[in-house]
Amino acid sequence: MNANATQTVMVVEDEEAFIDALVVGLQREGFGVEVARDGAEALSNFDRVNPDIVLLDVMLPKVSGTDVCREIRKKSQVPIIMVSAKGTEIDTVVGLEVGADDYIVTPYRIRELVARVRAALRRSGVVESGVVDSGTSINVGEVAIDPEQHVVTVRGQVTKLPLKEFELLYVLIANAGRVMTRDTLIDRVWGSDYYGDTKTLDVHIKRLRSKVESDPGNPTAILTIRGLGYKFERPV
């Protein structure tokens, strides 16, 4: 990734008033902006636009934001920030479950949005350029994770993970056997400038368990340490 290249934000939004404000606000911060006015347009333009990040409204005509997110995740790990109206918490959780990296609730200030966009881009850049030090895969129990190749293998099967889940799993496995507090995990994965809901962590843990555990309802690898956080268990 060329740090000097203009980074393109794909804005998927159907409210004209929001679109104008977003285009002006993001361009002023130096981003390129491509707008899609409904879910179908977002999906048909995605490959051509090849965005660095997607800002995705949940409530969209034709194809819903969560379905757009699900479709994009089938082929891309691009950072996705979901936008939902206040009071639609269910959509938010579903959004995270289908692979969004973050969400922001309307009404928001453009400055807050830009901070979130920058944080998400920074995090994706770290993994893409392989700055995570070791090039060798870490193996713990039935899971192997290779931060350089961005590959996770569970019981011999290569498993695709969205960026945030990958980073969370990496932090847990790199510290296997050690309890990681909620604050530490949120800090390491979402950054100390993270403004969002702390439920985001639990949603990501749930998603990781569904991919890593043989019985996600009775986890034996990713353990909840009540009142503290989580621990990736070392096999006995």
Question: Interface residues with Ca ion (CB under 5 A)?
Answer: 14, 57, 59
Rounded to an integer, what distance in angstroms lies between the CA atom of residue 179 and that of residue 223? 9
65 vs 219, beta carbon nearer Ca ion: 65
Cis check for the bond before 235: say yes or no (omega within 30 of 0): no
Report in angstroms how near the CB of residue 57 gets to Ca ion at its nearest.
4
Provide the token pair at 28.
């002023």
CB of 13 to Ca ion, least distance (A): 6
Task: Give least dist CB 90 to Ca ion, A.
Answer: 16
Least distance CB 60 / Ca ion (angstroms): 6
Minimum CB distance to Ca ion, residue 69 (Å): 14
Pairing relationship of beta strands 229-232 and 222-225 according to DSSP bridges = antiparallel
Name which of 95 and 162 has its Cβ closer to Ca ion. Answer: 95
Which is nearer to Ca ion, 57 or 165 (by Cβ)? Answer: 57
Nearer to Ca ion, 64 or 200 (CB): 64
User: Which residue's beta carbon is nearest to the bound Ca ion?
Assistant: 59
Q: Which is nearer to Ca ion, 12 or 222 (CB)?
A: 12
